[in-house]
Structure 1
Amino acid sequence: MRQSLKSEGCMREPKELLEALQIARASSFWFDSTSTYKENIVHWIRKARRKATRAKRIDAVVDHCVRGEMLFEQ
């Protein structure tokens, strides 16, 4: 398995995100993305106050990874 943000010395991805990426077979796009992009996405997910909002954000990230697209421009 590829390195996570934790092993790169950065913010750690939420477990739910990593599981969703694995189920959707979209992990390779995520792990090939820049650390800055991943940090921004993780921060955006963690800013969600409600569980439902967090789940929607994770779904959006996974959907974009499946399509090979970035959610936010860098």
Structure 2
Amino acid sequence: MAKISMRVILKSGVEFTTKCDKFTLTRNGLDQVTGYNISGITENKPVYLDFEQVAAIVRVLSDEGGEEAAETE
């Protein structure tokens, strides 16, 4: 299975990218993100992440081979 790259950008401007097999978010009744589950991590495993400080979470297709990765999903 190809690894996916997820970039987490904090409100402070700090960002990091993690490579994993699967990335899922947990949401509450107001559709706010309250947690996450990452499996098959090979790079940059977060130990703790305060979602009050997260500005964005984006998938980085360029790290995965660009359009080729999008076509195989």
Question: What TM-score range do you get, normalising by the shorter chain?
Answer: under 0.3
TM-score scaled to structure 1, two decimals?
Answer: 0.24
More helix by share: 1
Select the structure of larger CA radius of gyration.
Answer: 2
